[in-house]
Amino acid sequence: MVEAYKPNDLKEALELLAFNDCTIFAGGTDLMVKRKRWSGLVPSFEKPVMFISQLQELREVTEDNGMLTIGAACTLSELIDNELIPEHFKTVFRQMASPGIRNIATIGGNICNASPAGESLPLLYALDAEVVLQSSCRKVELPIAEFVQGVGKTLLKSGEMVTAIKVPKSSFTSITYRKVGTRKSTALSKLSFIGLAASDEEGLQDVRLAFGAVAPTVVRSRDAEEDIIDMLKLGSLDISQIIDDYSTLIKPISDQRSTALYRKKACIRLLVDFIINSLAREVVR
Ligand SMILES: Cc1cc2nc3c(=O)[nH]c(=O)nc-3n(C[C@H](O)[C@H](O)[C@H](O)COP(=O)(O)OP(=O)(O)OC[C@H]3O[C@@H](n4cnc5c(N)ncnc54)[C@H](O)[C@@H]3O)c2cc1C
C-alpha cells in the first residue's frame, strides 16, 4: 500500500517534507506513466506520496511591478484561461498534450520532470524565468537554466518543493512557436522552437530563441541572440554564420520519436524561417 499525505496548506506541506522523504505528486501525469506496472497492478511508489494540487497557495497567479508569479500547481488549462497570462504562454500551453491532460498537468510538474521534451521549458528559458524553491526554513529563487541540470535532473533538494515560477511580463512584437510532433495533440515533441522579438520606433530591440528536445536541456544562447540583433541593426545579416553558431549548440539524439539528423535540419529551417520572415520584418517596421 502507498502511504499518502494531503496537507491542508503550504506551511503544513513544508513541515511534512522536512521530516518525511516524499514523492511530490502534482497532477501525476508524468509520475503515473513513469511508475506504471503491468496491467491490473497499481503504480509503484517506493516513498510516501504527498499530494499538492489542493494547496491554494500554489494555484495563484499574481502580478506585481511587471513581474508575474505563477503558482507551481496551476494547471495548463487554468493558465490558458487566466487573463494575467500573456498570449505567448497560451500559444505554447494550447499545444501541450490534450484537454484532459491539460486539466490536471501542472507547470511545476513540467519543470521538475526536467524532460528535454518538456514544452514549457523553451518558453521559460527564453523569458529568463526564475524558479521559487521553498523548504520549511528557506526560500530561494534560481534561474531556470540553473535549476534544470540535465535530463530528469534539477537542483531540488530533499525537503524542498517548487512553489512558484517568476517571469517578467515582457511584451513581444513577434511570437513564433513551433512544436514538431507526429500528431497535433497528445504527442510529445520531436523538437520545439520558440522565437520572440521586440521592436519599437527605433527598430529591433530584443530577440530570444530557444529550442527544446535537441540537447539534454533547452538550447539558448544570449551571445548568439545579441549577434543576430547587431547584424540586423547594421544591415549585415550573415545567415551562414548564424547557422554555424546554432549548429554547434544543437546536439540532438536519435530515439523512438525522431532521428538526430531530422531534428537538427528542422531546427535550422525553423531558425532561418524566423529570421527571414519575422525578424527582417521587425527591422523594417
Ligand atoms: C498523454 C500525455 C501527453 C503528454 N503531452 C505532453 C506534451 O505535449 N508536452 C509536454 O511538455 N508534456 C506532456 N506530457 C507530460 C506531462 O503531462 C507534463 O510534463 C506535465 O506538465 C507534468 O505535470 P504534473 O503536474 O502531472 O507532474 P507530476 O507527474 O505530478 O510530477 C512530475 C515530476 O515533478 C515533481 N513535481 C511536481 N510538482 C512539483 C513541485 N511543485 N515541486 C517539486 N517537485 C514537483 C514530481 O515529484 C515528479 O517528479 C504528457 C503526458 C501524458 C500522460
CATH code, 138: 3.30.465.10
Residue whose C-alpha is closest to residue 52's, from 69, 68, 33, 75: 75
pLDDT at position 283? 66
Q: Is 24 in the pocket of ligand 1 (CB under 6 A)?
A: yes
Q: Is 25 in the pocket of ligand 1 (CB under 6 A)?
A: yes
**Phi, psi (rounded to 5 degrees) for 186:** 50, 35
113 CA from centroid of ligand 1 (Å): 6
Q: Is 111 in the pocket of ligand 1 (CB under 6 A)?
A: no
Q: Is 33 in the pocket of ligand 1 (CB under 6 A)?
A: yes
The angle, 0 to 180 degrees and rounded to 10, between the axes of the packed helices 239-249 and 260-274 is 140
In tens digits, what is the pLDDT along the chain, a chain of 285 residues?
779 999 999 999 999 999 999 999 999 999 998 888 777 777 788 899 999 999 999 999 999 999 999 999 999 999 999 999 999 999 999 999 999 999 999 999 999 999 999 999 999 999 999 999 999 999 999 999 999 999 999 999 999 999 999 999 989 999 999 999 887 777 788 999 999 999 998 889 999 999 999 999 999 999 999 999 999 989 899 999 999 999 999 999 999 889 999 999 999 999 999 999 998 777 655
| Cβ-Cβ contacts under 8 Å for 226 (sequence gap 6 or more) | none
pLDDT at position 284? 59
162 DSSP β-pair partners: 133
Atom of ligand 1 nearest to the CA of 31: 29
- Please tell me whether residues 96 and 210 are part of one structural domain: no
Q: Is 177 in the pocket of ligand 1 (CB under 6 A)?
A: no
Domain total for the chain?
2
Could you list the residue range(s) of the whole structural domain that residue 183 is in? 174-283
**Residue 259 · residue 253 · CB < 8 Å:** no
- Please tell me whether residues 17 and 60 are part of one structural domain: yes
Atom of ligand 1 nearest to the CA of 26: 30
27 CA from centroid of ligand 1 (Å): 7
Q: Is 186 in the pocket of ligand 1 (CB under 6 A)?
A: yes
What are the C-alpha distances in Å from 110 to residues 35, 120, 200? 16, 7, 34
Which of 145, 168, 191 terminates a domain? The answer is: 168
Which of 118, 152, 168 terminates a domain? The answer is: 168
Q: Whose CA is nearest to atom 23 of ligand 1?
A: 109
CA distance 148 to 217: 7
193 DSSP β-pair partners: 178, 211
The domain spanning residue 251 has which CATH number? 3.30.390.50
pLDDT at position 187? 77
Strand-strand pairing, 148-150 and 191-200: unpaired
CB-CB neighbours of 202 under 10 Å: 7
75 DSSP β-pair partners: 106
Q: Whose CA is nearest to atom 36 of ligand 1?
A: 109
Q: Is 108 in the pocket of ligand 1 (CB under 6 A)?
A: yes
30 CA from centroid of ligand 1 (Å): 4
- Please tell me whether residues 56 and 161 are part of one structural domain: yes
Q: Whose CA is nearest to atom 21 of ligand 1?
A: 110
Atom of ligand 1 nearest to the CA of 179: 8
| Cβ-Cβ contacts under 8 Å for 222 (sequence gap 6 or more) | none
Cell numbers given for 224: 548568439
pLDDT at position 285? 55
- Please tell me whether residues 42 and 136 are part of one structural domain: yes
Q: Is 188 in the pocket of ligand 1 (CB under 6 A)?
A: yes
Q: Whose CA is nearest to atom 50 of ligand 1?
A: 97
Which of 110, 136, 168 terminates a domain? The answer is: 168
- Please tell me whether residues 46 and 182 are part of one structural domain: no
- Please tell me whether residues 16 and 110 are part of one structural domain: yes
**Residue 68 · residue 28 · CB < 8 Å:** no
- Please tell me whether residues 152 and 187 are part of one structural domain: no
CA distance 154 to 142: 11
- Please tell me whether residues 251 and 162 are part of one structural domain: no
**Phi, psi (rounded to 5 degrees) for 238:** -120, 90
Predicted TM-score (pTM) of this structure: 0.96
Q: Where are the alpha helices (DSSP H) in the chain?
A: 10-19, 31-34, 76-81, 87-93, 99-102, 107-113, 120-126, 144-147, 222-234, 239-249, 260-274, 280-283
